[in-house]
Every structure is written in C-alpha cells, then in structure tokens.
Amino acid sequence: MLLRLAISILPFVGSALAQAGAAYTDPDNGITFWGFTDPVHHVTYGYIFPPLADNSQEFIGEIVAPIETKWAGATPGGAMLHNLLLVAWPNGNSIVRSARYATDYVQPTAMSGPVLTDLPTTKVNSTHWKWVYRCQNCVSWSTATGTQTLPIDSFGVPAWAWSNVGVDTPSNPQSTFLEHTDFGFFGLDFSQAHVSTALYNNWAAGGTGGGTPTGPPTTTTTTTQPPVSATPYDYIVVGAGPGGIIAADRLSEAGKKVILLERGGPATWETGGTYGPTWAKGYNLTKFDVPGLFETMFSDSNPFWWCKDVNVFAGCLLGGGTTINGALYWIPPYSDFATTTGWPSSWGNHQPYTDKMKSRLPSTDAPSPDGKRYLEQSGDIAAKLLDVQGYRRLTINDNPDQKDHVYGYSSFDFIGGKRGGPVATYFKTAKARQNFAYRQYAYVLNVVRNGAQITGVKTNDSSLGPDGFIPVTSKGRVILSAGSFGSPRILFRSGIGPTDMITIVKNDATASPNLPPQAQWINLPVGYNVSDNPSINLVFTHPSIDAYENWAQVWTSPRAADSAQYLKSHSGVLSASSPRLNFWRAYSGTDGKTRWMQGTVRPGAASVTTAYPYNASQIFTITVYLSTGITSRGRIGIDAAMTARPLITPWFTDPVDKGVLIQGINDIVANIKSVPGLTLITPDNKTSVIDYVNNYDPGSLNSNHWVGSNTIGTSSAKAVVDENTKVFNTNNLFIVDASIIPQMPMGNPHGTIMSMAEQAVTKILALAGGP
C-alpha cells in the first residue's frame, strides 16, 4: 500500500530524508513551486500555498513524471496513516487522480473533504505526464485521534511513492493497485512555500506567469534561475558524520576556509530539528535529543533519518550514525590502531589523539544527571552469570586495553541527559567560525577531477555553484566522510574503483556524463575488505527483570513518572539508551588467531522464538558479537539504480569465525542454572546453539558497524588510501570515515572513528602542498 513501511525488510530497503525541497518555476505555467525531484526515478513533486495570513485550507501542487511511471503518489503530511494521500497516473492522454486516506496499512480508500481541480497545464506526452492541481480542504482534516494539520508555517517532511506496475483499472479514479515499488521522504520548509493572495488566486484560476522563487533555486531540470557564482574553499568535507564533523572543526580551527556538506537535515533541537514526541511538546526536545527514544528509531512510522539509497541502516542527517545509534562510546585500546590489525606503523601512537577526543567529549557510564543508575536489573542478572565464568568488573573506559573476561556498565557520550556526540561538541565550535560554512540537504554526486587533480565536487544544489559545482582553491582539498557505503559510491561515480562498478556508472544515463574519460579511471580496491560484527541475540527471562514494555511505549505514552522526571531534569530512565552492561572475552580459534567476543545486555528483545509460554514483562537480551580478530570479509558496491549495498556479506565467510562465536555463546549459557530463576527462551531448550546460529537469519547478523570499504594501507594493490588518508593516485582527495578502518575495532566503533579523525586531520594539515 501507499507508503507502507515493511519493518521486516527495512534493513534492506530503508527510507530517508535524502534531499531538501527547494523553489523552482514550472516553465509551462510560470508557477513557483517548492518541491523536490527524486534522483532515482526523476519524478518532481511540488507545492505552493497562499499567504499564511489568509488562513487558507488549500494549496496548488504538481507531479511531473517520466512516462514509465505507472503511478505516483504524494503525501505532504509525510506518513501513510491518517494523512492526505494524493495518487495519479496517466490513462491515454488524460490524468486520472484521487485523494485517499488510510487508517491501517491496507489499500487506501477515497477521502471525503478534499476537492481536486486539474489546472490547464496538466498533460501527457510521449516522454512525461504532468498533473497540476488545486487541492481545496487539504490543509487540515479530522481523524479518529483529532485534527491533523500540515505544518505550513514550519518545516515538514513530505513523502512520495512510485510504481512501475500499472493500476488495476486505469479509467477508475478509485482503482486498486499493488503496493508501491519505491518510496521516500524529503525535507521542505513550508514556511517559505507561500506567495501573495493575488498571485495565488491567478494560478488557482488557471492563470500563468508571475512567479519568483523566494528560496534557493531548484535542483530539478525545470528551473529558470540563472547560475550563481561558485565560492572556492580550501577544504570541502562531504558528510557530517563523526569523521566529517571533526575534520571540518579542526580544519576551520586551523584557519582554513571550510564547507561541510550534509545530504540530510537537522536532528537535535539545537540544530533546528523539530521532530519530537507529543509528550515533550514545548520542551525543545526531539527524538534525537532524548536517549531513551533510541529503540524507536527502528519502529517509527516516519523514519526519514535512514538513507533511502543504502539498503542497510545508515543515518542521513546531521551527525550521521552518532545521531541515531545507541551512543555506546568506547575509548579505543592499543589494538584498534596496531599494525596487527592492519594499520600503518605511523598510526600506532593513538593516545594523543584519543586524549584530544576525550577532552572534547568525555564518556559516562552513569548518564543520568542525578548520578543514579536506572533499570539496571538486566545488567545485574548478567553480571551474576558472568561472575561464575571468571569475569571481573571494571570501569571499562578507565581500562581500555583490558578486554578479556571483563564487564562493566555501558558507557555513553550523552551530555546532561541528552544526546551529545560530535554534533554537541565539535560541530558547535565549528559553526561559530566565520571561515566555516555548513550546507544541509546537499547531496554530493561525485568529485570533479582532471586526472589526479580534484577541482571540486558536483552536488544537487545549484545555489552553491553552476549546476551544483563547488570548487576548491588552487591548493584546495576534498575530504570524503560519507561513510562506509556513501564514500565508495562517490568514488565509483568519480571513476575511482574496480572497473565493474565504474561500468555500472557509465551505463547510467544521468551519472555517466559526469565520469572522467576512461583513460583517467583509477583502479583501486574500493568496496573490498569490508567487515561488520556478526551478532546473535540471546533472549532470557528472570523474575527480577523490568522489560520496560519492550520500549514500545516511550514514543507515544511513556510511564508518566519517567517522562515527568525527564522533562523536569533530563534525568531518570529516559536519560540513557537501552544498553545496561557490556563484556568482552578473548578466544583462540582453530587457526591459531585470537578473536574477541563482545556482549551487550539490555532489557527487552527485538524478537522472541520459543515454543514455551513466557512472561513478556521479564525478558532481556544479550547480544553477542565478534569484534577484533574476525577474518571474514565482504564487499560493498552499487546496483544499476546507484543504490549502495553489500555485494558479498561479511559474516561467516570464514567458518572459523562462526566456530568461535558458537563457542562463546555456549560458554555464556553453560552456567544458567547457577542463577536461580534465569531461563533462556531464545533459543529454547528444543534448539541447540549450533542449530540456532546455523539457521540464524543472515539479515539479522548485521550490526551496522561497517568498516574497511576504503581501507588504509601502504599499497594501492590492497588499499584505497595511504597512511595520510589520501586516495592513491590522486593529488588532493582524502577519506576520513569508518571506511578506512582496516579491521573491526574492539567495541562499537564511533569512539575509534572519532580518534581516527583527530589523527587523520592532523596528518592532512601537516602534509605538504595544501592550502
């Protein structure tokens, strides 16, 4: 159905706020719309409203689609349920359309109230179809839970749906149809999408002309705006995740002229985000501010933060993964930068850079500002189990190099009971500098180069330069920090990487013109050497556990005392994400290599598989990972739609990894009877650990800790970047993100990524020939 979110396949589909809406003028009618062109299917969705002062209940919209689009849908409210849904398709030389409504994820039906009027430039030709319409009674409507209103005076997240499968009865406006082939979201500042009463009334009556965009020019092909002069920068940093934010902050601190480009939008309230729970309305809090809302990232009906064109979970918003993860923050041990884990010897002394990171962003294992720990029952029970197995308790980040038979409270980088991370620290100082620029919703397609020399980047934002081109200065540099999937894709689209991937780009009509000549292609192992922690969930019950309603109510109706406490002082249960305890143990495999097992303990469970009854209020999970030392490797690439995806998954390609993980799980569960009342329910006592692991859903093995796709090294035969993080065979292109890390870190990787970024930017600044 329209915009249905199939949660079970989200890791492989995803949806995200990929780009920003902008102003454009339709050349057929002169109407100024604010909207967006989907870069994959090339469908444009636009809206324009009367002045806010008119208190009007209508707008003018349009959908412009290639003829191969069998039907397209738009919902300015951004979600399927209880929202205005507009659907259209061509039927011969006419457009058939309807306003629909759904209260569940089923076929949407006719919506009473909206009045649709087709405007004169609606048409169908041999290449495209266009629906231009007036939608009356379309700004607010009644639902079973109250009145729903479009955010016409603020920022919103409209959605779209697309299908290449025709409807069942093309002549019938209420025809049934199959679920959409694709869907997505985009950010739109509705407060800018207004024109004068006279101009709006002229357009609404079928008149033309007179439109002047009041915001940045469009990214669509229908723009009539003249090109703007591009500003050159010393450094262009692509991607505002932890690597990019730290690089941009330190470069601007050094006096360089820097622009940081982020394809998504804001997140926390401080950065302009507004998407928060209703129970926190008026408290300047978003979903991304409140640590206790972490689990709802994966169950929200409007998950605009996931990258739409990456088929695993990846964050497309300011802060990247550090804005949507559980914020587990581990100070890297020596092994995270040792030659034994693939690093060049010049990286061995990480401590000065880790110290710089710690001074900007300390860790805490007691994140509630009142100093108390909450909801600790699952950690207490797990500790009893581990004590019997010879583990000892430590403050983990005070002893980062001790990772064998140790456990301790989960450690985070929350600040004052709210999400902290690089956005609250490094980005905050960077944006205060006059030599630092930040542009959100700027999607970088490729670097522009002449042989080995990078001259700038091409983006979707023509307000930054002609045709979206941003140049670097004569000695300027580009730093890619788009992540383990995003940075490889940019390289492929720039003619850098294996020939099979660049050939896919060459065969794409939109991307091919931006490729350099084939003689300038650079053959590097981009996308190879990929690692991710294989992870297995074990689910237990114990009478002392408070499963906290499995985190299912924290978004809409958390426990009243807990929400009140959090709103008053940012303390209590909601001041932390779900993990409560972590542990590590070293194992020697049959190949003589040492691998480390990590465990994370949290109340609740993602899924339960058991043939026996159990008390759902008493469940908790131990997620068991393999980290440093794993030998399995995969490959990341792109498909014909330019979607970044694993081509070879990196879990258990070496059977020794699986054997070690099975051994670790057997050890964990061997002493269950030593803890009275403790019961393992997934797997239950009808399923052996070996069978459980062997039959584990491969998609669920994903930990989203991807590293290695642009690995660092000393030879272009085996690595993509050199010891200074410069891409081999280029003069001025660098990568600073998780993709250069050659092997899995010891713990959840964002602390290691941040330490790496501190060291990398120091090396880049010291490298001769720069600005």
Helix (H) or strand (E) holding 163: strand 159-163
CB atoms within 10 A of CB 722: 18
DSSP string, 219-287: SSTT--PPP-PPPPEEEEEE--SHHHHHHHHHHHHTT--EEEEESSB--SGGGT-----GGGTTS---T
Structure tokens given for 135:
């939608």
Q: Rounded to whole angstroms, how far apart are CA atoms 160 and 86?
A: 9
Q: Rounded to whole angstroms, how far apart are CA atoms 32 and 47?
A: 9
Cβ pair 318, 737 in contact under 8 A? no
Q: Does the CA dihedral 36-40-41-42 come out positive or negative?
A: positive
Q: Rounded to whole angstroms, how far apart are CA atoms 529 and 70?
A: 40
Cβ pair 177, 11 in contact under 8 A? no
Structure tokens given for 4:
């249905």
Question: Would you call 406 helix, strand, or coil by DSSP?
Answer: strand
Cβ pair 586, 403 in contact under 8 A? yes
Question: Would you call 82 helix, strand, or coil by DSSP?
Answer: coil
Q: Rounded to whole angstroms, how far apart are CA atoms 486 and 484?
A: 6
> Using the 8-state DSSP alphabet, how is residue 178 labeled?
P
Cβ pair 507, 640 in contact under 8 A? yes
**Which of 712, 745, 711 has its CA nearest to residue 628?**
745
Q: Rounded to whole angstroms, how far apart are CA atoms 430 and 585?
A: 39
Cα–Cα separations (whole angstroms), residue 504 to 369, 451, 460, 529, 611: 52, 20, 20, 21, 47
Identity of the residue numbered 509: A
Q: Rounded to whole angstroms, how far apart are CA atoms 478 and 753?
A: 19
Helices 242-253 and 750-766, packing angle to 10 deg? 30
Asked if omega into 683 is within 30° of 0 (cis), the reply is: yes
Backbone angles phi, psi at 315, to 5 degrees: -85, 120
Identity of the residue numbered 631: T
> Using the 8-state DSSP alphabet, how is residue 328 labeled?
B
In the block, which residue shows the tokens 């940075």? 487
Q: Which residue of the set 41, 180, 542, 705 is catalytic?
A: 705
Q: Does the CA dihedral 656-661-667-672 come out positive or negative?
A: negative
Q: In sequence order, what are the residues at sequence separation of 6 or more whose Cβ sits closer than 8 angstroms to the Cβ of residue 227?
A: 462, 465, 466, 467
Identity of the residue numbered 538: L
Cβ pair 337, 347 in contact under 8 A? yes
Cβ pair 348, 336 in contact under 8 A? no
350 is catalytic: no
Radius of gyration in angstroms for the set of CA atoms belonging to the chain, rounded to a whole number: 26
- Work out the end-to-end distance of the chain between its first and last CA atoms, rounded to an integer number of angstroms: 53
Active site residues: 705
